[in-house]
């Protein structure tokens, strides 16, 4: 079974450019980078000249020459075909195994611009940290590949439900939704969302679940992926960092949605050592930092505090596996039954907000720490020139105190909440405590079920048409 990936559309646009730069697919291991390229070449009717560089380590010395005639002659010997043939793509997989291939991509662009080149690799930062050459800045493009989204999961498991998510529209006033979801459909989508919490978005896990419906098969896949990552750490990480790297890797899923405190991870290690490991894992897309931002306007990253951040993991399914949450646990949980249930909901939304971003995959949140008036908004996003607070609830109820404080401080007319309720648009008017005493807060609340996170940009655009 070949599972559809939305990123194929980006690859089509890249291929149609008159002078495309070599494209480097970035992302954690086993997020489907190689499969995406193979599916794309097949669907486009292109020949794929694929080389797994882990199997041809001697090519590193060939790439090091930076002589394109020598490089292409050697590649032709490996693939058994001319890399410059028409209607073909050159795919350099596992490029981290031959680091000088990264440097050589510059000369593909400058001297052989008619060869479409795609490279893919995992843990590139681990490899680059041991090499002195610089990346070919301005001569390559990057495409970030994440685990499969909930909608891609539905395409493989229950494609009939997609029409209900994508068909949600607002009425002519943009003050309400034009149609309501049937309760039976909403309940089915919540059930599938719960299944996604367990399987996660790793393509192999989704494929196993689609083929057999067996939770045990999914668990076996998660265990295999986890073992692969631990093996990678030993291969690419510095040995002195290995025990700490493994500790941080296993600790992150247990602190989802919480401000990072290095002493909680390992009180015996220096903060700088832990921070360096987190930076390395973050650069390798194994985890993602969610920075505190003052959120006074765009770009949000201009006002981040790099020392205050939360972490989300690369994939909710692997996170649950590390935490020991099996399918029976997740299938039966209702409100407030899981210790980290709120963290899981925050992971789910954050994982998708990252995928929706077209620029650097970095997320932000808002935090106000005062003795008597703490406030925290789970995520802050920008869309166009506007900033929106995003609150995530794991159940059907919850207060809006932090959203109200954000709106009061930033004068934001629209706020977003994700929970387990059907979609709605509400006009909120409330008296809340401000710096100058009690003040009135008025804003529009766009409330969406967790499973509709991928529709957020579209619905914000519709709402802003008013």
Q: Domain ranges for the chain, please list them.
A: 8-144, 150-464
Residue with the larger pLDDT of the pair 97 and 326? 97
The predicted structure's pLDDT at residue 190:
92
Classify strands 437-449 and 424-434 as parallel, antiparallel or unpaired: antiparallel
The answer to which of 69-73, 113-117, 405-409 has the lowest mean pLDDT is 405-409
- Does residue 318 have a pLDDT over 60? yes
The three-state DSSP-derived secondary structure of the chain is CCCCCCCHHHHHHHHHCCCCCCEEEECCCCCCHHHHHHHHHHHHCCEEEEEEHHHCCCHHHHHHCCCHHHHHHHHHHHHCCCCCCCCEEEEEECHHHCCHHHHHHHHHHHHCCCCCEEEECCCHHHHHCCCCCCCCCCCCEEEECCCCCHHHHHHHHCHHHHHHHHCCCECCCCCCECCCCCHHHHHHHHHHHHHHHHHCCCHHHHHHHHHHCCHHHHHHHHHHHHHHHHHHHHHHCCHHHHHHHHHHHHHHHHHCCCECCHHHHCCCCCHHHHHHHHHHHHHCCCEEEEEEECCCCCCHHHHEEEEEEEEEECCHHHHHHHHCCCHHHHHHCCCCCCCCHHHHHHHHHHHHHHHHCCCCCCEEEEEECCCCCCEEEEEEEEECCEEEEEEECCCCCCCCHHHHHHHHHHCCCEEEEEECCCCEEEEEEEEEEECCEEEEEEEEEEEEEHHHHHHHHHHHHHHHCC
The predicted structure's pLDDT at residue 130:
64
- Does residue 181 have a pLDDT over 60? yes
- Tokens at residue 105, please? 């991509």
Residue with the larger pLDDT of the pair 118 and 176? 118
- Does residue 178 have a pLDDT over 50? yes
* Mean pLDDT, residues 132-157 taken together: 88
* Mean pLDDT, residues 196-211 taken together: 95
Which of 293, 287, 398 has the alpha carbon at shortest distance from 341?
398
Which of 146, 289, 155, 317 has the alpha carbon at shortest distance from 225?
317
Residue-wise pLDDT for 27-58, tens only, equals 888 999 999 999 999 999 999 999 999 999 99
Residue 386's CB is within 10 A of a number of other CB atoms, namely 14
- Does residue 96 have a pLDDT over 70? yes
User: How far apart (Å, rounded) are the C-alpha atoms in residues 222 and 313?
Assistant: 14
Note the CATH number of domain 8-144: 3.40.50.300
Which of 382, 361, 348, 346 has the alpha carbon at shortest distance from 460?
382
The predicted structure's pLDDT at residue 236:
63
* Mean pLDDT, residues 446-452 taken together: 95
- Tokens at residue 329, please? 């646990």
Mean pLDDT, the chain, integer: 89
- Does residue 331 have a pLDDT over 70? no
Residue with the larger pLDDT of the pair 219 and 122? 219
User: How far apart (Å, rounded) are the C-alpha atoms in residues 379 and 397?
Assistant: 18
The model carries a pTM of 0.91
The predicted structure's pLDDT at residue 311:
97
Residue with the larger pLDDT of the pair 73 and 360? 73
Residue-wise pLDDT for 238-290, tens only, equals 666 888 999 999 999 999 989 999 999 999 999 999 999 999 899 888 999 99
Classify strands 386-392 and 414-419 as parallel, antiparallel or unpaired: parallel
Residue 46's CB is within 10 A of a number of other CB atoms, namely 15
The predicted structure's pLDDT at residue 362:
86
Residue-wise pLDDT for 221-237, tens only, equals 999 999 999 888 887 66
- Does residue 439 have a pLDDT over 90? no
The answer to which of 84-98, 121-135, 329-343, 364-378 has the lowest mean pLDDT is 329-343
- % the chain with pLDDT above 70: 90
Name residue 384's beta-bridge partners. none
* Mean pLDDT, residues 386-392 taken together: 95
Q: How confident is the model at residue 339 (pLDDT cuts 50, 70, 90)?
A: very low
Residue-wise pLDDT for 455-465, tens only, equals 999 999 887 76
Q: Which residue has the tokens 């060939």?
A: 62
Burial 397-421 (b: 16+ CB within 10 A, else e): ebebbbbbbbbbbbebebbbbbbbb
The predicted structure's pLDDT at residue 463:
79
User: How far apart (Å, rounded) are the C-alpha atoms in residues 225 and 335?
Assistant: 30
CB 116 within 8 A of CB 89: yes
């Amino acid at each position: 079974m070949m599972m559809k990936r939305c990123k194929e559309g980006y690859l089509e646009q890249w291929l149609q450019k008159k002078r495309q730069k070599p494209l480097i697919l970035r992302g954690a291991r086993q997020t489907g980078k190689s499969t995406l390229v193979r599916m794309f070449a097949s669907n486009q009717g292109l020949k794929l000249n694929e080389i797994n560089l882990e199997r041809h380590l001697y090519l590193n010395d060939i790439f090091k020459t930076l002589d394109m005639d020598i490089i292409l002659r050697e590649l032709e010997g490996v693939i058994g075909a001319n890399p410059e043939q028409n209607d073909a793509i050159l795919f350099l997989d596992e490029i981290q195994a031959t680091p000088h291939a990264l440097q050589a991509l510059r000369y593909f662009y400058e001297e052989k611009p008619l060869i479409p080149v795609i490279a893919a690799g995992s843990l590139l930062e681990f490899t680059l940290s041991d090499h002195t050459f610089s990346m070919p800045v301005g001569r390559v493009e990057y495409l970030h590949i994440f685990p499969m989204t909930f909608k891609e999961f539905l395409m493989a498991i229950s494609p009939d439900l997609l029409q209900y998510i994508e068909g949600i529209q607002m009425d002519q006033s943009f003050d309400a939704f034009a149609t309501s979801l049937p309760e039976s459909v909403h309940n089915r989508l919540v059930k599938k969302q719960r299944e996604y919490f367990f399987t996660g978005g790793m393509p192999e896990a989704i494929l196993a679940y689609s083929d057999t419906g067996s939770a045990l098969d999914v668990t076996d896949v998660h265990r295999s992926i986890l073992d692969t990552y631990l093996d990678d750490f030993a291969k690419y990480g510095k040995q002195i960092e290995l025990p700490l790297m493994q500790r941080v890797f296993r600790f992150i899923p247990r602190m989802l949605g919480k401000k990072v405190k290095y002493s909680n991870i390992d009180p015996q290690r220096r903060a700088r050592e832990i921070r360096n490991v987190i930076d390395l894992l973050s650069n390798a897309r194994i985890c993602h930092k969610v920075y505190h931002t003052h959120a006074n306007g765009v770009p949000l990253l201009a006002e981040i505090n790099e020392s205050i951040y939360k972490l989300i993991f690369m994939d909710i399914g692997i996170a649950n596996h590390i935490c020991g949450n099996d399918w029976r646990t997740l299938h039966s949980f209702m409100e407030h039954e899981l210790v980290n249930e709120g963290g899981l909901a925050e992971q789910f939304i954050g994982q998708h907000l990252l995928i929706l971003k077209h620029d650097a995959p970095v997320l932000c949140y808002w935090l106000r720490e005062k003795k008597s008036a703490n406030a925290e908004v789970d995520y802050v996003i920008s869309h166009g020139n506007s900033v929106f607070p995003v609150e995530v609830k794991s159940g059907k109820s919850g207060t809006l105190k932090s959203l109200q404080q954000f709106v009061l401080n930033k004068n934001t007319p629209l706020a977003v909440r994700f929970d387990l309720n059907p979609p709605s648009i509400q006009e909120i008017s409330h008296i809340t405590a401000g710096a100058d005493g009690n003040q009135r807060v008025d804003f529009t609340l766009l409330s969406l079920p967790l499973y509709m996170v991928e529709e957020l940009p579209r619905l914000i655009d519709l709402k802003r048409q008013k």
